[in-house]
Structures are given as C-alpha cells and as structure tokens.
Amino acid sequence: MSSIKIAAGLANAMSSSTAHNEHRVIVRYRADLTIAARPLAGKSPQQFSLIPAAAMRVTSDEIQHLAASTDVERVWLDLPVHTCLDVSAPSIHAPQVWQSSYTGHGVGIAVVDTGIDPGHPDFAGRVAAMEDFTGEGPHDNHGHGTHVAGIAAGDGTRYRGVAPGASLYVAKVLHSDGSGYMSEVIAGLDWAIQQDVRVINLSLGGVGPCDGTDALSTACDAAVDHGVLVCVAAGNFGPGASTVGPPGCARRPLTVGACTSQEEIAHFSARGPTADGRVKPDVLLPGVDIVSCRAQGTSMGSPIDALYTRASGTSMATPHASGLIALLLQAFPELSPDQVKQRIMDTAKDLGLEANAQGEGRADAYQAYVGTMPPSEPSPPPSGCLLSLVQLLRLQH
C-alpha cells in the first residue's frame, strides 16, 4: 500500500540507489493534520502551509517509513527547476489600457525568481517586500528576476513594462546559476500568498511531459484556490509535442507560451498536450528579443547598456501576462482568478495554429480590458512610451 504513495519518479530514483542514499523529497500529509502533528524525517525539514506538505532530505528507508504512515498521502521527488530563458516585439495594446488610467496601481505582483536589483531606477518606490529562500540574499546576482520584473512592471523613461503602476513582491527561489528546487519555489509561493498579492509570476519550470500531479503544480493549483492567479511559463523545450514541463502543466494557473513579432510561435516554446491529454499552453505572449531591466553587475541575455538587456524565452512571455492581469484587476477588482484567466483566453487573437501550440492565441491587453465590447479606433501611445516597450507594446493599426 505504501508504494502507491511514492511518486513514480521517486520510486525510480530509489530503485537505482541503496537504502542509505539521500533523496530530496516533498511529503504531502492529510489535510486535517496539524503542522505540529506531521511526521518528519531526515535532514532540514521545511514546512509549507499553502499545501499540507513539508520538504526534507531522507534515505530510501526513511521514505518507506513515511509512506507507511496513515498521516502521509504522497511522497514526491523534489525536482530541480530553472529559468525558462532561451536567447518581442509584438503589440498587446497595453498603452490603450493605460489611457483609461489603469496601470496596475494598487495591485501586487509577486515575482518568484532569482531576486531583483532594488536599486534599478525603473522600480523606484515600488518594491514592497523581498524575501530570500536560497541563502544567497534577496538581491539578483543572476539577472533573470530583474529582467522579468521589468517586463511585468518596470516604469522607465526608455523601457516601460505592462503594468508600470503595480507593486512588486520579490521571492528569491532560484540561485545565482538560475536553478533551484521545487521546494524552494513552493516556499516562495507560501510567502507570496501571505503578502496578499493578486498575481504570482513563475518564469521557471522543469522538464516535461507532466500531468499536473507533481508537487509544484499541485501548489500552484492551491494558490489559485487561495484567490491568486498564477502565471507560469510553458517552458523552452519545444518545438516537439508534450514538452510543457511543471508547473506549466498545472490545471488552474495561466500557462504562457512565447510568440514572435510576426505572431508566430517561437521555435523554443513548449507544446502540449500534457501527459494526461489537456491542451497547453493557454495563450501566447511576446517572448523573443525582449528588452528589459538589467541587474547591476550581471550579464544575462545580451546587454544593451548598464540598465537594460535583451533576452528571449517563455520566461519573457510570462510576465507580459502577469502585467496584463494587474491591469485587469485594477479595472475589475471583483474578478476571480478563474474569471480573469477566462477573459484573457476568450479575447486572445487566434493565430490559426494548432491548439497545443498557441492555446487560444496571442493575448491582447486591450481586448481583455474591453471584453466583448467592440474595439475603439486605436489612439497613439503616450509620448513617454514611444521608446518604452514599443518593442513589446507597439500599437497595431
């Protein structure tokens, strides 16, 4: 009976090791069990509240002992995750939403990534909180998190993010090499939920295919249940089928693939279906040659100058969605995560691609804002945006 509780990937890892080899695992407990009553084992246990679970390093014998407990429902392997960076210029009509005075003001976006450069001028006064789950400190010594945050919410003179009025909550869960473990990401999700954010950005993931029952996807689904819409990257393992990895295969979040300026899917953007046959990604957004903020002292992407760098990947597409959601939540704060997700999908532009490549198509901020209303004649962007993410947000005529 206990073997049923051990996830397949962990069972395989155990079969190829000795009884005394250590494994990083995430243990899920009965929902009615208090944190104090959870059976723990091994080294460095870390408790979670978003889902009834804890992470620890244990031997194969200890795994069997845990799985035999009636208090334990599942034991997962604590899998590695990494930035979804590959190496955008299409428009999503965000400046038209800004002209209605919606910039994401009052909406909190949690960027769960490699940290942030809080001294970057494009974030001045809007980094509300920072927390480190890597032991390296919350500052971004990789560059990925700063770039992602800039796309979602940068407010610079030259380059402007999708929701330049939003507040940023930054959880550092990936190390200086851009990698980490699911348990560290879940800890970041736990923290973000406690900050009362409305949007969580996960520009990271593991290798597909997956069916959404892994620990991180389960935690992302739980975050949506808590009233927070999670945006997750589809991953960069395309163009083959069934290449969406965790947490892109989660059921409740918005999974984002990458498109080019010509409104074609980026070659690297992962495709569905999921291992259990569901369509993924949900939408596409710009993810090729995105110019955004550069963390001081880093060289991620192709640096333009001391403040900005250019990069590609589904990592870059995902914060477009997070910023778009912040605009919608400022305009319609009563919307639930499911309603926001559906609104974005319902108003996406069909690119005529197969569903497991494009989802519903390329998301559009203005169409999501107006909903079923017919679009008005496009207005020119505000003068301060002509060089801001015009490469990202250029109006189409």
Q: Which of 302, 292, 294 is nearest to 323 (CA)?
A: 292
**Predicted pLDDT of residue 13:** 76
299 with 374, same domain?
yes
> Among 78, 111, 134, where does a domain finish?
78
Q: Is the pLDDT of residue 377 over 60?
A: no
Reading the block at residue 168, the tokens are: 């940023």
pLDDT of residue 85: 53
Q: Is residue 396 part of a domain?
A: no
Distances from the Cα of 207 to the Cα of 185, 246, 248, 304, 315, angstroms = 15, 7, 10, 31, 14
Question: 144, 147, 175, 320: which is the annotated catalytic residue?
Answer: 144
- Indicate the pTM of the whole model: 0.89
Contact (CB, 8 A) for 181 and 57 = no
Tell me whether residue 177 is one of the annotated catalytic residues. no
Is the domain of 247 the same as that of 269? yes
Say if 154 falls within a structural domain.
yes
Mean pLDDT of 26-40: 94
Residue 158 lies in a domain: yes
Give the CA distances from residue 98 to residues 25, 327, 384, in Å, rounded to whole numbers and listed in that order: 45, 8, 12
Q: Are residues 344 and 240 part of one domain?
A: yes
Instruction: Report yes or no on 331 lying in a domain.
Output: yes
- Average pLDDT on 68-83 reads 92
58 and 110 share a domain? Answer: no
CATH at residue 291: 3.40.50.200
Question: How many structural domains does the chain have?
Answer: 2
Cross-strand pairs, 392: none
Residue 395 pLDDT greater than 50, yes or no: no
Task: Examine the domain organization and report whether 127 and 223 are in the same domain.
Answer: yes
CA distance 94 to 88: 14
Strand order in the sheet with 127-132: 127-132, 167-172, 108-113, 199-202, 229-233, 254-259, 283-286
In terms of domains, do 32 and 169 share one? no
- Residues 55, 110, single domain; the answer is no
CATH no. for residue 51?
Answer: 3.30.70.80
What does the pLDDT look like over 240-261, one tens digit per residue?
999 999 999 999 999 999 999 8
Is residue 389 in a domain? no
Catalytic residue among 167, 315, 322, 388: 315
Q: Distance between the two ends of the chain, CA-based, in angstroms?
A: 62
Domain final residue, candidates 78, 97, 118: 78
Assess whether 160 and 243 both reside in one domain.
yes
If asked whether residues 99 and 227 sit together in one domain, one would say yes
Q: Last residue of a domain, which of 78, 100, 121?
A: 78
Quote the CA–CA distance of 242 and 250 in Å, as a whole number: 14
Q: What is the pLDDT of residue 230?
A: 98
**Active site includes 225?**
no
pLDDT at 18 over 70: no
For residue 163, what is the DSSP state?
-
89 and 58 both lie in a single domain: no
Range of the domain at 48: 2-78
Confidence of residue 43 (pLDDT cuts 50, 70, 90): confident
Which of 113, 122, 289, 364 is labelled catalytic? 113
203 has catalytic annotation: no
Same domain, 172 and 310: yes
pLDDT bucket at 104, cuts 50 / 70 / 90: very high
* Count of CB atoms situated within 10 Å of the CB of 120: 21
Q: Closest Cα partner for 225 from 75, 49, 38, 46?
A: 49
Domain contains 397: no
Give me the sheet containing 53-59, strands edge to edge.
43-48, 53-59, 22-29, 72-77
In a domain, residue 291? The reply is: yes
289: in domain: yes
Q: What is the pLDDT of residues 79-100, one digit of tens each?
A: 999 886 553 323 578 888 998 9
- Spatial neighbors of 102 by CB under 8 A, at least 6 apart, are 327, 330, 331, 369
